[in-house]
Structure 1
Amino acid sequence: MKEIFNIFSGKKIKEIPKRKIIVDFREKNSLVASEIVKLGFEVEFQALKVGDYLVNGIAIERKTVSDFRGSMVNRRLLRQLEELQQYQKKILVIEGIYDKEIYPDNENNSEGIHPNAIRGFLLSILLKYNVPIIYTKDSEDTAKFISVLAKKAEKENPLNVSKKNLTKSERMQFILEGFPGIGPKIARKLLEKFKTIKNIMNASEEEITEVIGKKAEVFKIVSEEF
């Protein structure tokens, strides 16, 4: 916590740092990001491999109702749900539920989706992928939900735990999770395979690919110039 000098009182006061929420670059122009800032949070844009928002280790995938239907038809959401599995805690937000019904009026709609197909897909998300679904009214509602989640998650699992409270294994895992797209599960896989962070950094891309697939590309940055 940084101290600043108050020129009026002549005393040093503690400046409370803003809570930080990681937002994917693709959400940069969304109203959700600006609403989060209005709520007093710091937003850091990153190229997230998984999810649209990262809050204290919780991955959030956001879909508008139209996005949800479209990604259901082209099966893109299935891939995203698979990728979310690397996070112990993950959430799917479906936004605009009051603005546009999630179920089509009838089975002869322009998208060709039967309402029961959507119901079945929602059940699969909950039961097969174990991803909770949150329905929000609009971008402002989504931002408020994320802000409440950030406050709640910080109380239950604060990220500013001092290093002396972490085991050696937890510190090693924490370092790896600093790489984009590397969640707890992938970090553990790498450490179980290579044993040390040094071994991971010295491993070839092919060796890492054997363990975590395409996500190995993120480690290219280790040998790139600034």
Structure 2
Amino acid sequence: MQKPPIIIVVDTREQLPSARVSESAYEFKGYQTIRQKLDAGDYSVQGYEVDGISIERKTLDDYVGSIILNRERFLREMELARRYEFFAVVVECSMLDIVKNVYRSLAHPNAVVGATAALMLDYHIPVIFCCNRKVGEMFTLRLLTKFYERKVKAAAAWPVVDMGVMDEITRRTK
């Protein structure tokens, strides 16, 4: 039995690919994508977008702004993220970029590192630093495809049962 192809859901609020590549949505070349509003996160898998998997993508400046300056709004989104079986934040920078203060905000690196640790501990959400956009896209794709493959494999492990036969067995045993 051939597994159905994965369809990646891209949140409608993610910018379409444009000249400002760093701020636009991942393209996931070779994979079918659809645009759909997600309650939390930027990327998911069709059929699992409500409570299965969602990935939040952040550039360095966006991440620092979200976790420090717009913290309350960001944490409200993380509250929504708790309902997912798997939710992660993928940041297109390294932890070294944060420690070296390679961002526009005046936030101290210790505040950013501390807020990151608190997010991970308080919300049980992994924050994955992927050093750049290309690695972030690759890792996001891998998370989505691995999650999907595991779900398809788990579903295939269940035997197909003819409910008409089950009804007949139940009727005869009464």
TM-score, L = length of structure 1: 0.55
| 1:41 corresponds to 2:41 | no
Could you tell me which residue of structure 1 aligns to residue 165 of structure 2?
A: none
CA distance in 2, matches of 1:25, 1:103: 32
SS at match of 1:113: coil
SS at match of 2:98: coil
Q: How many angstroms does 1:97 deviate by?
A: 3.1
CA distance in 1, matches of 2:154, 2:35: 20
Q: What are the superposed Cα offsets for residues 95-121 of structure 1, whole Å, 9 maximum, x if unpaired?
A: 1338x8223549xx9633122111111
| 1:113 corresponds to 2:107 | yes
CA distance in 2, matches of 1:60, 1:120: 21
Could you tell me which residue of structure 1 aligns to residue 150 of structure 2?
A: 156
Is this contact kept in 2: 1:97–1:135, CA < 8 A? yes
Identity of paired residues, percent?
33
Could you tell me which residue of structure 2 aligns to residue 142 of structure 1?
A: 136
> Aligned Cα RMSD in Å?
3.2
Could you tell me which residue of structure 2 aligns to residue 63 of structure 1?
A: 58
CA distance in 1, matches of 2:104, 2:131: 24
Q: Which of 1, 8, 25 is 2:12 aligned to?
A: 25
CA distance in 2, matches of 1:105, 1:161: 46
Could you tell me which residue of structure 2 aligns to residue 103 of structure 1?
A: 99
Q: How many angstroms does 1:65 deviate by?
A: 0.7
Partner amino acid, structure 1, of 2:57: R
Q: Are the structure 2 counterparts of residues 88 and 64 from structure 1 closer, same or farther at C-alpha, using a change threshold of 3 Å?
A: same
Please, which runs of 5 or more residues in structure 1 have no aligned partner?
Answer: 2-13, 167-226
Could you tell me which residue of structure 2 aligns to residue 90 of structure 1?
A: 87
Q: How many angstroms does 1:157 deviate by?
A: 1.8
Is this contact kept in 2: 1:104–1:114, CA < 8 A? no
Partner amino acid, structure 2, of 1:142: G
CA distance in 2, matches of 1:46, 1:144: 21
Please, which runs of 5 or more residues in structure 2 have no aligned partner?
Answer: 161-174
CA distance in 2, matches of 1:159, 1:95: 31
Q: Structure 1 runs of 4+ off > 4 angstroms?
A: 30-34
Is this contact kept in 1: 2:61–2:105, CA < 8 A? no
Is this contact kept in 2: 1:71–1:77, CA < 8 A? yes
Partner amino acid, structure 1, of 2:27: E
TM-score, L = length of structure 2: 0.70
CA distance in 2, matches of 1:120, 1:80: 19
Is this contact kept in 2: 1:22–1:54, CA < 8 A? yes
Is this contact kept in 1: 2:101–2:108, CA < 8 A? no
Q: How many angstroms does 1:165 deviate by?
A: 6.0
